[in-house]
Amino acid sequence: MKILVAIYSPFASWCIPEAQVEWLRGEFPRHTFQRADTDRETLERIVDVDAVFGATVRPDQLAAARQLRWIHSPAAGIGNMLFPEMITSPVLMSNSRGNSAATIAEHAVGVTIALLRDFPLAFSRQLERVWAQDEFNAGARIRMLRDSRVLVVGFGSIGREVGRAMSALGAQVVGIRRSQPTLPQVTTFEHLHEELPLADVVIISAPQTKETTHMIADAEFAAMKPGAVIVNVSRGKLIDEAALVRALERGRLRGAALDVFEHEPLAADSPLWTRNDVLITPHVSGFQARHWPDAAALFAENLRRFESGRPLLNPVDKAAGY
């Protein structure tokens, strides 16, 4: 088989290290691995490959691929590849959902606690060398996760891990998912507006599809409990950022922690940067020391399965969008 490894980005964090490509070559000496580091190289080299281990394949690249049978994404999100020609093509797709669930859950817990305990205020006052004890006590601002109801919107591999972590710290967790739930603490998206007014913390961990784009907008912010916290560790387009800014300006929310944004990198003139009730991280919730070795290992297992005709791990339903 001929395999194209096309995992590149303007940001080094999202580029697969050459050591992982060499590891794959060592694991599968019978196959040929080519690397592409630009869209142009992908277009040139995809022509005669059987499989792509890649973060994106564009319509022109798919059209150029004469014998492509399978794409495996190193990420969970594959919405950028689900254009009409890909959906109707016979190309199989799989992703890496679950690989980063634990680290994303830890991130979600960390930023939630940071907002509930006013850590952004502490960071600001530390820079000013101000002892701000009375500011923390004013209005009993510090809140505990243990006393909070946490709504996890999107209860897949990431959402379930977030729920387990939050529950371990004493929070009451309610999950929302698309398919019919089998657990009493999980409900469906039709009940989102019933759950939003009850939640102290809202975690967004759903996949991006046509149905979930801007699923949290003006109406949803209006439905949320006053003083609630919202955390997005999924995809930026699930939240209408302009609506979020309006909700924050009205004092509707206690704060927001955002790891993903509608357009990345976040524009320098975005009002989100300068708000003291917003905690921004640059799309890093899924990273940890073994990120790339784990991603390569999952691809390797699926390559063995693909070779032998066995079912792939993490198959993507192209019509459903995840």
For the record, the structure tokens of 53 come out as 């281990």
Taking Cα atoms as reference points, which of 248, 231, 252 lies closest to residue 145?
A: 231
- Distance (Å, whole) CA 40 – CA 42: 5
Other CB atoms within 10 A of residue 225 CB: 18
- Distance (Å, whole) CA 169 – CA 184: 20
Pairing mode, strands 278-280 and 253-258: parallel
Element (H, E) at 204: strand 201-204
Q: What does each C-alpha distance from 203 to 111, 142, 216, 317, 319 come to in angstroms? A: 11, 19, 11, 24, 25
CB-CB contact of 167 with 148 (8 Å): no
CB-CB contact of 151 with 223 (8 Å): no
> How far separated are the first and last CA of the chain, in Å rounded?
26
Q: Which residue has the tokens 């002892």?
A: 131
Q: Torsions phi, psi of 237, nearest 5?
A: -75, -5
Q: Return the active site residues.
A: 235, 264, 283
Cis amide leading into 265 (omega within 30): yes
Other CB atoms within 10 A of residue 258 CB: 23
